[in-house]
Structure 1
């Protein structure tokens, strides 16, 4: 097991670091100012023009669609370091290189399970960065941490599927560029537990698909939004089935392995930037007659943060290596583990950085408040901690 970056990975990571430092970080203030002017208006979810400018620059630098091995040639292990660097600016950088959630998972799903017609209509424009997409699984009425609980009904009527149900926390739906929804629901409630669900493609303009509201996260409204949907007698052609009928649960599991590598490495990037900010603050700020960096309690916070980041990174790199070697099925325990370990680590490290910054950390003067919000939210996204802990325990007990 060797985590020494290949020459290709080292080159991509170096170029990504330069892109973030030279283009993305300087663009953050303008991005936030543009959005602040539109907060509370119907234009709140419009895309700041600087992002399209950055996308053009990223493509010129060869930093585009790096998450998909069949296109980039990068393994999961090689891409992991690039994803970490993008986490230094999690709002802008991933989209600038077309490696943003939930589109990466949706593109992987279409790549693996889509028909040639589905790929041409939806995957190709997603890969070009022309549209965005959403994954509609979570529901307000049931514990969606168990995907078999979903109640949305998908019934076949002749050559169409008729869909009825509610979804919420559907990331990306507020952005009008979101043109396609992958919707999970039950096609056969009487089938075996893991064969009841299917996934269908629902275009945004389909009659009966209604966006009820956009949900804030700790008061934040992301540019792409997290929305609640109502589907009332939504009709799509049978040809919009993704994969096979009854295969929805398997499809949902297939899209999560590499996606959790991406999430976790971006979180590590956020934690690294939090430490960078914490160290600078500690060196510049004076309290009780000396810089914070000379206070023992602050030194301990910095040291613990470094140790915890390094531990988490090694576990994620091991997981990426296992996926490359044995597929996601062979790394099931590790995939579940990183989904618990890394968000918890990021929350802790970012919280320490906030303490060192004092009241400034709760404002928009630093990215720390947003970082904490996103790190905390990721303890729910793709399944809460408790589900993954349960999974690790079951596998560990099974070995004995």
Structure 2
């Protein structure tokens, strides 16, 4: 077998794990920390540094390939896996995954994932383990076949080699104004996220949010190059529903009003409301989508909360309960399932956004690029971290290098032919 040893290395995520429920309930910011007691199980404080765990696979030629495990920023919220515990994940990986990894054919990617990720004690493995180990297996297959990770994905899923770049979406964090300027100057495709995660940021009846949206559009026209019209994408963390109620008609009315305030721009609204369960989310989001489509609005609904696993994504896509599905990579688990999720969305004519979290690493971000480009997703997140420059360069440069490599490969094949 191609894998002869496995070892682990503790690491850092690129941002912090945050207790979403405590923040949503009104926790006050003091500098960079939040003051008050945490409410989500596992959190010892409302904001804690993100941790990660790297898994290294030693191949028979002594090459070491890596993958990174972590959970998302708002762990334990919206049906997600609990807060990442490095010691627990390390122990389970060593006890359960190592024997499985030593016994697979690493050159056959999907087969290897299927064998390694079989249930343990009748339960699915923690999604963080699936996520990190699947990255390492993808890199192993790429090394063994002397190919890029994207080419392995294309081969395994019978996809043509991609030629189109995938639009990149940047997120601002709390440094909104400065980071919006950075995004505009760098001509980012989709911006700015905005982190509208509290009543203070959303405002009474959404007025603070509305003014911010208009400011972003105005700033784009002011300092952007002529003809630059990025997609405006705002994550409101359910605050439309929290502030104006959970009636789909009222939510759609508000979103239309926001879209009409920025003519000429496409508007993405992520997580307009949290209806409390996956089925309620599907039913009500489908209604909001239908109302917006009937009105011919330029606004698009993006689902995040309550849409975590591949099965969740299937349900939302088949119900047309979003214009775009955020495929939140650590929440999906195996990165092979991220590829499946994109293809599932495309089959249902729903947009596929390969997202993830600011808590990720450079390694997981690069693997996500290969999945996004191979499957030709509609957009992908610049990650990790909450800084624009680092994430945009990591994801953007990896995409450019990948496309250049594929173009060279294509030209070589044509010359041989």
Quick check: which one's helix share is greater?
1
Greater relative CO (CA pairs within 8 A, separation 6+): 2
TM-score normalised by structure 2 residue count: 0.25
